[in-house]
Amino acid sequence: MLSRRDFVVAMPAAYLGLYHRANSASGKMITPPALSGGGSATRIGNFYYQAPNGIAFIKDDAAAFVINPGGSHNAGTVAPDDTFHRVIFSPKKATANVQRVEFQWSRIGDVIIGRLVSDAEGEMSFSLSENWPGFSSTFSADTEGVKGIAKPATGETVTWRLKSLPAPRAADEHQFTVTLGGPEKPTYLVAGFGELPSFNNIDGLLAEAQHAYEGRRTKARGPSGDILAAIADNLNNSRIYSSDNKTVAISVSRNWGDSPNTCPYFCWDSFFSALLASLDNPEMGRETVRAILSYQASDGLVPNFAHWSSGISKDRSQPPVGSLCIWKMHQRWPDLDFLREVYPQLALWNSWWMKARNARNDGLLQWGTSTGKLEYAQDETGWDDTPQFEGVTGVRMVGSTMNVNAVDLCSLWAMDAYYLSLIAAAIGRHDDARKYRQDHAAMNARINTKLWNEELGVYCSRFWDKGDGTAGQFLTRLTPANFYPLICQAPDAARAKRVLAIMTDPTQFWGDWILPTVSRKDPLFLGQTYWHGTIWGPVNYLVFQGVKRYATQEIQSKFAQKSVHLFMDNWLANGYCGENFLSINGSVGGDHNYTWGALLCLIGIESVIDIDDDGIARAGAGYNEPVDLMNLPIKGKRRSVSLRMGKPQVTVAPGPPHREL
């Protein structure tokens, strides 16, 4: 098993030959610097927040060089080990006749080889000015290209070079400009540290790298398109390097940072991003979990946000979905060492909720903030402008919590306890597992006793008891939060049937696009802004965890189909991974490149085949179309899965050998 440092510096054995062949024209056999044993730690990838189409070269966490062609943000194909990249974009600095450029490149040790193919003859410039705080690099024109120099605190000089064929049209300390020959005449690049490879056979080497990644990457085939590649492309393109913590981790979007070290780690977003990443890039999923947990407070609070221009939210958290996501990651790629590593932090977070958000000491939880500001307490829900409490007379802060027992938080906490019990059992903490099973059952009992609204036939948040033991008033605005008790297995079959009847009512939450964040009957539905009536990947994904437990196969299948189609219609048409979606027409709302939109595709995958809590992969209802899933990780191995309509049997056949990155 490679260490975390090995993940940064090691190069897969399959590509050693590729590196040697890239240099064979010179007659020399060059050992890739990353494997030379000289202490080199080189990171190469599209890790700069404003350069999704560019390349960052980072040396020893002390020097960096970035080439950035600018242009539109597109989630192209990215191998997790950066041995293959392919992106098609409209360049920012190009002659007017050049509208489209395809950029392919491959990392080989401490260097890259690359190829640019344009739709027309012309010129294109790469910016050289980007850098991270604490790093400084200078560039100058060099023979056939550009040279970069950096002097870290150690005093040693770091030298980086770039060459192009044809030679650059112009080069200086700010940018270099290459000639583009149109569709039939590629422009070639080599760049990096140490001796650069020749330009010989770059086409062949890139084809080999692409073929190797395509053979092992997760991918799907079916009428809706490649739902697995949609996840991988979005998450592999969301890896951002930060010089302040010397970490590559997934940030929610390149659009949310206003400096290289302020691409934010939002709390529940990070756990969902880690889960999504783990399908194709398990170590990056684990690194993303480590990134957000590194900001956990000593009392257990995992902040609502960290590593952002606004600092760290030390007053509030976000929905406790960490144990759910980490257990599912473990089911894909079992890693007991990682479970042991993060379990104490997850357990501490779970206990924090009961200490900080259990205002009446009765085991029911409320959203809150130590600032006493209602706005911030609503931010803690994860639904920043949540309609659940809007305009409700009497909703207020009392100290650090709202005066409402929150059905969504109670349900998520019970869910968290359930998955903590599974994690604890897996690492041999059987007394802890027993305690968490008891916590789970006790919270479910409280939810059923205190938060079931018999009149409406659904679970509801509720004002505190009046102090005399008389239950408080229910909050009766309906949102998907009312369905969250399905997730934690609180209802019996009769109650679940009534909840599902509301969820599948086309006048309320069902329809062509699901699930709106407030009932279609509610006046707030027409807002269609942020959390007012829009559709969100994390909400659908969480509710689907309950749908799988209680709903008929027909409902499961339709839920998955609607989720997949909502995402893929936008992805195939525009390349959008939506922050949210409008429930009146299915178009993207909010940020067009936001990682958790891809959870809608994960619903589709789990509808076809899911790994149950007992560790057995079982066939599901699917999403109403034939589908093939290739290289899908199941219990540590990549598998090929096929589902055909009318044939509920799923065949699981061995995929190609898995190679841990």
What pLDDT is recorded for position 2?
25
CA distances from 605 to 184, 225, 557, 633 (A): 39, 12, 11, 11
Q: Are residues 600 and 649 in the same domain?
A: yes
- Give the range with max mean pLDDT: 31-35, 421-425, 617-621: 421-425
Would the pLDDT of 155 be above 50?
yes
Q: What is the pLDDT of residues 392-446, one digit of tens each?
A: 999 999 999 999 999 999 999 999 999 999 999 999 999 999 999 999 999 999 9
Give the pLDDT confidence of 37-81 residue by residue, as tens digits: 233 599 999 999 999 999 999 999 999 999 999 988 778 999 999
Cα first-last separation, the chain:
9
For residue 14, pLDDT beyond 80: no
Rounded average pLDDT over 344-351: 98
Q: Are 113 and 237 in contact (CB under 8 A)?
A: no
Residue 222 within a domain: no
Nearest to 219 by CA among 612, 627, 572, 614: 627
Cβ atoms 141, 268 nearer than 8 A: no
- 288 and 197 in a common domain: no
Span 276-287, average pLDDT = 98
Domain boundary among 216, 241, 262: 216
pLDDT at 577: 97
Mean pLDDT on 350-354: 98
156 and 239 fall within a common domain: no
| Residue 435 to residues 294, 411, 421, Cα–Cα distance (Å) | 26, 17, 8
Domain assignment present for 169: yes
CATH code assigned at 578: 1.50.10.10
Q: What is the CATH number of the domain that holds 77?
A: 2.70.98
Q: Given this model, what pLDDT does residue 653 score?
A: 67
| DSSP-assigned letter for residue 566 | H
pLDDT score recorded for residue 74? 75
Q: Tell me: the pLDDT tens digits for 519-536?
A: 999 999 999 999 999 999
Tell me whether the omega of the peptide bond preceding residue 324 falls within 30 degrees of 0, making it cis: no
Same domain, 436 and 372: yes
E-assigned strand segments in 429-478: 452-453, 458-459, 462-463
pLDDT tens readout for residues 596-616: 999 999 999 999 999 998 889
pLDDT band for position 34 (50/70/90)?
very low
Structural domain contains residue 221: no
Q: Are residues 501 and 599 in the same domain?
A: yes
Residue-level pLDDT at 654: 65
Residues 6-26: what's their mean pLDDT?
A: 33
To the nearest whole percent, how much of the chain has pLDDT over 70? Answer: 91
E-state strands within 417-481: 452-453, 458-459, 462-463
Residue 659 falls inside a structural domain: no
Give Cα separations from 288 to 2, 271, 301, 542 (angstroms).
17, 8, 17, 20
Are residues 443 and 558 both part of a single domain? yes
Domain boundary pick from 216, 240, 260: 216
Q: Identify whether residues 438 and 574 lie together within a single domain.
A: yes
pLDDT band of 154, cuts 50, 70, 90: confident
84 lies in some domain: yes
Domain membership of residue 625 as a residue range: 227-654
- Confirm whether 325 is domain-assigned: yes
pLDDT above 80 for 657: no
81-95: per-residue pLDDT in tens?
A: 999 999 999 998 899
**What percentage of the chain reaches a pLDDT higher than 90?**
85
In this structure, the answer to whether residues 183 and 235 fall within a common structural domain is no
How many domains does the chain fold into? 2
pTM of this structure: 0.93
Tell me, yes or no, whether 305 and 175 share the same domain.
no
Who contacts 16 (Cβ-Cβ below 8 Å, separation ≥6)?
Answer: 32, 35
Mean pLDDT of the region 526-554: 97
pLDDT of residue 92: 87
Token digits for 529? 């802004």
Q: What pLDDT does residue 153 have?
A: 85
pLDDT of residue 25: 36
Q: Count the Cβ atoms, other than its own, within 10 Å of residue 493.
A: 7
pLDDT-derived band at 32, boundaries 50, 70, 90 = very low
What mean pLDDT value characterizes the chain?
Answer: 91
23 has pLDDT over 90: no
Q: Indicate whether 661 belongs to any domain.
A: no
State residue 19's pLDDT score: 36
Q: What is the DSSP letter of 254?
A: G
Residue 546 shares a structural domain with residue 633: yes
pLDDT digits (tens, 9 = 90+) for 494-518: 999 999 999 999 999 999 999 999 9
Whether 493 and 435 share a structural domain: yes
Q: Over range 19-24, report the average pLDDT.
A: 39
Q: How confident is the model at residue 465 (pLDDT cuts 50, 70, 90)?
A: confident
Question: Which among 216, 241, 272 is the end of a domain?
Answer: 216
Q: What is the pLDDT of residues 476-485, one digit of tens each?
A: 999 999 999 9
Q: What is the mean pLDDT of residues 11-29?
A: 35
- Same-domain check for residues 331 and 419: yes
Cα–Cα distance measured from residue 518 to residue 606, given in angstroms and rounded to the nearest whole number: 25
pLDDT beyond 70 at 9: no
Confidence (pLDDT) at 470:
59
Residue 282 has pLDDT above 70, yes or no: yes
pLDDT of the residue at 144: 84
